[in-house]
Structure 1
Amino acid sequence: MSAVDDVLDRARARLSRVSPADLAGLPDDHLLVDIRPLHNRVAEGEIPGAVPVERIVLEWRLDPGGTHRMPGFTAETVVVVFCNEGYSSSLAARDLQEVGLPKATDLVGGFREYLAAGLPVQPGGTQAVT
């Protein structure tokens, strides 16, 4: 096993990952965060209601006690992060737990599995939180 596979396994062991089908059963006040690059969102579309946040600023924008946080969530909010295929998002969700979001997790299979499940997608290109 490579070192990065070990890091990924340890991160996922901390998460209660959700499948695309599980999204419908989340609390109404959950936060869905898209960390995919703009070019992927434009080419493939976006999940309705997801907030795009650049990965480089993710922890600052979602630190519940931070001065640079975006509005609309608390430390108790279920935060579901997704990327293209569910690898980077696992590491991102682990990092969000470290900054005070104990219910942070990620989407199994990422956007591509969501898309393959035939769930709704809207045209992409929404400006990310920076």
Structure 2
Amino acid sequence: MTAERVGIDELLERVREDLDRVSPREAFDAAAEGALLVDIRYAALRERDGLIPGALVVERNELEWRLDPQGSHRAPEATGHGLRVIVICNEGYASSLAAVSLRQLGLDRATDLVGGFQAWKSAGLPVSR
């Protein structure tokens, strides 16, 4: 049996149907209410553009290990499956795929930031160096 082949644009469209993606302001407000912002951008982008204060930085290749509440390598912030997680990449593409991966681990409230870090910064929200 051959698996259906789809391109990345169609895959993104499909996975985003199940995500309650958030705007930069919604992410900011959600963080104030206890949501965990997770920055998956690689180091060069973080160094170039700065960081979102309070966001947990987790390289994309470590994300599932660090956020799985049952995992042996989990971050202290990964407190349970009910945690609201908002994944942030640079422009809001890789974060959608990452959020779906977290949902597959049982983090049913995982989603991502529309437009990524660049949208956050353009919205004038806090950025630190």
1:11-90 map, 5 Å? 11-26=15-30, 28-72=33-77, 73-90=79-96
Alignment of structure 1 residues 72-111 onto 2, 5 Å? 72=77, 73-111=79-117
Aligned residues: 122
Give the distance between the partners of 2:118 and 2:19, measured in 1 at CA. Answer: 20
Residue aligned with 1:69, SS: coil
**Who wins on radius of gyration, i.e. which is larger?**
2
Consecutive unaligned residues of structure 2, counting only runs of 5 or more, are 1-5
Q: Which structure is higher in RCO with an 8 Å CA cutoff and minimum separation 6? A: 1
Query: Aligned with 2:34: secondary structure?
Result: coil
Q: Deviations over 1:37-81 (max 9, x none)?
A: 011001100111101101001011111211111112211010000
Inter-partner Cα distance in structure 2 for 1:107 and 1:23:
7
Distance 2:28 2:75 in 1: 24
**TM-score, normalising length from structure 1?**
0.89
1:23 to partner: Cα distance: 2.0
Deviation at 1:11, TM superposition (A): 1.1
**1:80 aligned counterpart, secondary structure:** strand
Deviation at 1:18, TM superposition (A): 0.6
Report the Cα distance in structure 2 between the residues aligned to 1:89 and 1:13, rounded to whole angstroms: 14
Q: Which residue of 2 aligns with 1:127?
A: none
TM-score, normalising length from structure 2?
A: 0.90
Partner Cα separation in structure 2 for residue 37 and residue 19 of structure 1: 21
Q: Percent identity?
A: 52
CA RMSD in angstroms comes to 1.2
Quote how far apart the aligned CAs of 1:29 are.
Answer: 2.1
Unmatched segments (≥5 aa) in structure 1: 124-130
Cα distance in structure 1, aligned partners of 2:29 and 2:116:
17
Runs of 4+ in 1 over 4 A off after TM superposition: none
